[in-house]
Amino acid sequence: MKHLAIVSCLLPTHLTVKEIEVLSSFLVLSGELTKHNLFNPLCRKKVRETLNLSQGGLGNYLKSMTDKKVLMKSEEFGKLEIRPFLMPDAFKQGYQIMLINESAKPSQS
């Protein structure tokens, strides 16, 4: 969840706290359950039960994250996928951020 919170602040359209919670709930699912499709009906059901969401509520969060370009539909099968840069590394995660103030000009003497 922390990884998504950190990365979200770098996105053009930030994720809400609940969107981060929903996406994190999908990411913690593993094994055969998510082997071919992280957003399959069984995974959706588990996330809905965990977060106490209705089908429509979960659908609204997934649509919002698709609109924000966090999720995308695969061209090959049309299934939802998380953008690769949002996937956390299972063993380590590092961040390197550089901020540049484009409007600041060096003073000329």
For residue range 43-88, list pLDDT tens digits in order: 999 999 999 999 999 999 999 999 998 898 887 778 888 887 777 7
Write the CATH number of the domain with boundaries 2-86.
Answer: 1.10.10
List the structure tokens of 59: 């659908």
With H, G, I as helix, E, B as strand and everything else as coil, classify residue 23: helix
Q: Where are the domains of the chain?
A: 2-86
Tokens of 39: 């957003």
Q: How far apart are CA 50 and CA 48, in angstroms?
A: 6
Per residue in 18-33, pLDDT (tens digit) is 998 999 899 888 777 7
